[in-house]
Amino acid sequence: MELVGNKVLALVLAGGEGGRLDVLTEDRAKPAMPYAGVYRLIDFPLSNCHHSGISDVWVLQQYEPHSLAEHLANGRPWDLDRTHGGLRVLHPYTGDQKSGWYQGNADAIHRNRDPIEEFEPELILVLSADHVYKLDYGAVIDEHRERGAELTMVTTQVPLEQAGRFGNVRADGEGRVVDFAYKPDEPISEVVTTEVFVYDTQVLLDTLGELAGQDDGAGEDTGDEAGEDTGLRDFGHQLLPQLVERGKVIAYPLESYWKDVGTIASYWQAHMELVRPKPPIDLDEPGWPILTSSPQRPPARITRTAQVENALVSPACIVRGEVVRSVLGPGVLVEEGAVVRDSILMHNAVVEAGAVVESAILDVEVTVGQGARVGASVATEDLADDDVAVAGKRARIPAGAEIPPGARLQSS
């Protein structure tokens, strides 16, 4: 594949707290969340960059960075471990006027203006790290250049009742964005942003500078180790509406699968889609595989007493009981007589004999004692957050205990 060129810089925004995932992100960055057993959410934008020929990728971290650092492995799985260019990780810092904690994605980019300007990219590709999708960013960049846009938003369609969770977009017949509303109470459209943006670099940096109320001389060292509040938050609050008003923003429709997994319900539903007879996304497509960093583990073991139906079973699992419409991460143990239905079990979780787990999410190393019951059976995939029982890392559920739907067990 022909590279898009070194004038494109990809910024992966991986610093958010992910509070809507409750106990699952108490001590884990949302981009480090496991997905489909063996992947992490950040694998999707990084794999897309690799396949799109984008070789300069910077990851902006803040919340629980240790949970992501080991997985990134210096960019090796995505061919980004290079002497020149490749993967670079940016953290908040103290010292000058631009220093301080990131207050949102717009603020994070503004505070890193100096290294961006030193790199001198023509375009900046801004990516979220908590969505599941495949996309050739090169095609989006080509469209952006051909149309002479200042900003290109990759968009998709969602049911109108869900559109209020996202940035809403209205475009004219030529794809020019004429209206934008950020997480409105009353959605203006079923068309929403996918959190994939291509910006003209100078337009982005200049507009952020204007919104922060800084002039050309701003950013000099003031001696204020804590930095200052720039007034910037997320793109949708100020930046995107202002650029839309300028009239040079276009929408690039994504016609394939895209899933936001930022809530308990959507994370659970995304996994239930994977165990359908025909999943909506192919994670093993030869021409576009999802690349990841994970230790080598032995094959799964399915014993004579096991019953497995429509499930994903990761390496090193041992299944002696019943597993139906569920996803088991590496090293999960389901003992004989145990039942796991419509659930997600992460690395090294244990379900002891006679226990039942239904419509639940068990984080890493959770143990469900003998005869315990977690969650309850459901008749539909259209669940709310409080329909799914969730156990945090290393939680221990005593033998015979009953954990109701919607319960949240803290990490131990």
- Domain(s) of CATH 3.90.550.10: residues in the chain: 8-274
Q: Which two tokens stand for residue 376?
A: 């309850």
- In this prediction, residue 300 has a pLDDT band, given cuts at 50, 70 and 90, of very high
What is the C-alpha separation between 215 and 363, in angstroms, rounded? 48
- Domain(s) of CATH 2.160.10.10: residues in the chain: 301-409
Task: Tell the CATH superfamily of the 8-274 domain.
Answer: Spore Coat Polysaccharide Biosynthesis Protein SpsA; Chain A (3.90.550.10)
Q: What does R_g of the chain's alpha carbons equal in angstroms?
A: 22
Question: Regarding predicted confidence, which is higher, 281 or 69?
Answer: 281
> Residue 230: its pLDDT value, please?
79
Taking each helix axis from N to C end, the angle separating 201-211 and 239-246, rounded to the nearest 10 degrees, works out to 120
> Residue 216: its pLDDT value, please?
43
What is the C-alpha separation between 224 and 238, in angstroms, rounded? 26
Answer positive or negative: Cα dihedral of 310, 40, 169, 186: positive
Q: What is the pLDDT of residues 131-171, one digit of tens each?
A: 999 999 999 999 999 999 999 999 999 999 999 999 999 99
What is the C-alpha separation between 209 and 395, in angstroms, rounded? 46
> Residue 96: its pLDDT value, please?
73
Asked whether the predicted pLDDT for residue 203 surpasses 50, the reply is yes
CATH class of 301-409: mainly beta
What is the C-alpha separation between 397 and 400, in angstroms, rounded? 9
| pTM attached to this predicted model | 0.94
Asked whether the predicted pLDDT for residue 185 surpasses 70, the reply is yes
Q: Are 177 and 253 in contact (CB under 8 A)?
A: no
Query: What's the whole-number mean pLDDT along residues 289-299?
Result: 94
Q: What is the pLDDT of residues 51-84, one digit of tens each?
A: 999 999 999 999 988 889 889 989 999 999 998 8
What is the C-alpha separation between 343 and 390, in angstroms, rounded? 10
Only one residue has tokens 């145990």, namely: 338
